[in-house]
Amino acid sequence: MRAKILVVDDDPDILLSLQNRVSFMGHDPLTATNGKDALRLIGEEEPDLVLLDLKIPDITGLDVLKQVGAASLPTKPQDGETPQTTPYTTPLIVILTAFGTIELAVQAMQLGAFDFVPKPFTADHLTVVINKALATVGLHRQVETLRKEVDDQFEPIVSASKQMSQQLTVAKQAAASSATVLLLG
């Protein structure tokens, strides 16, 4: 899968090396040097993955993570919809920092970061992290597709009866679980 990866770092040398690594891996790099541009690009370009430094101008990396996390919180499901649950943000965010502490790593992970990579890191380590994150993105997309298929399987059933509509709602809710359901009547 050719992914769109946003690289956010205020150090031009690191930004260039990350951009080159992403290109070398066959993906499309986007770059930003501050938090404000990062948020703008996340909204406009909808990248699959963000490699985010914590110490960046305008808006810190943690604040970017908080805003992306708040924007990607699952909405309350409508009647019959399956609730969306994932511990990660959309897009997935990998934190890269030279100022890593255990407390900061825990905080970033609690805010929805996919991974926390201390600088300096090797190109091989970064490649593994990117591949793991993109595999997770692929799985999320497959789950969404399957959820939509399950939700759509009840759409062709047309009923004017209020009782039948209620039974279909129950069936949609049960379809999201492994429960056995017996409908009578």
Express each pLDDT in 95-151 by its tens digit: 999 988 899 999 999 999 999 999 999 999 999 999 999 999 999 888 888 878 876
Please tell me the distance from the alpha carbon of residue 61 to that of residue 32, in angstroms, as a whole number: 12
Residues 6 or more apart whose CB falls under 8 angstroms from that of 105 comprise 95, 116
Residue 33, helix vs strand vs coil: coil
Residue 101, helix vs strand vs coil: coil
Architecture (CATH level 2) of domain 4-152? 3-Layer(aba) Sandwich (3.40)
Q: 88: part of which helix (H) or strand (E)?
A: none
Residue-wise pLDDT for 1-34, tens only, equals 799 999 999 999 999 999 999 999 999 999 999 9
Strands, sheet with 49-53, edge to edge from the N-terminal-most edge strand: 28-32, 4-8, 49-53, 92-97, 115-118
Q: Where are the domains of the chain?
A: 4-152, 158-185
pLDDT score at 15: 97
Bridging pattern class, strands 4-8 and 28-32: parallel
